[in-house]
Amino acid sequence: MSGCYCGNSISFQDCCEPYLKGIKNAPNAEALMRSRYSAFAVGAADYLVNTTHISKRRFHNKKDILAWSQANKWLKLEVLASTFKAYYLDENLKAQVHYEHSTFKLENGKWFYVDGEY
Ligand SMILES: [Zn+2]
């Protein structure tokens, strides 16, 4: 595979993987958004839970996140400021676009995903 799941031309190893593995923290909201998309693509549910703001975490169940990430085939991500479009095929291989305006929060030097409007 050339390029990262998030659409960057650098490899997953050099792009989102260090964030998913907790080696590096996402330096800004866009990097967090991209890395969360890659986490969906590879089924990294722990990362998705850990980067969700503590106030919202109870609404996100790790098993559900994992099931949803694995039921869909993640195609591409388009980032437009704090809005993104995620293209994927659902479990019936029907093309879907998840269009979301997200809220991110910087806390103690770490970026968190708070919530999103679809
Ligand atoms: Zn990436």
| 93-115 confidence digits (pLDDT tens) | 888 888 888 888 888 888 888 88
The pLDDT, as a whole number, for residue 110 is 86
Q: Provide the pLDDT confidence category of residue 27 given band limits of 50, 70 and 90.
A: very high
* Cα(22) to centroid(ligand 1), Å: 14
The pLDDT, as a whole number, for residue 81 is 66
3-state secondary structure of 79: strand
Burial class (CB in 10 A: 0-12, 13-18, 19+), 63: exposed
**pLDDT over threshold 80, residue 74:** yes
In degrees, rounded to 5, the angle at the alpha carbon of residue 29 between the alpha carbons of residues 25 and 35 is: 60
- Higher-confidence residue of 91 and 57: namely 91
The pLDDT, as a whole number, for residue 51 is 92
Q: Provide the pLDDT confidence category of residue 88 given band limits of 50, 70 and 90.
A: confident
* Cα(86) to centroid(ligand 1), Å: 13
Share of the chain above pLDDT 70, in %: 95
* Cα(12) to centroid(ligand 1), Å: 6
User: Crossing angle of helices 29-42/62-71, nearest 10°?
Assistant: 70
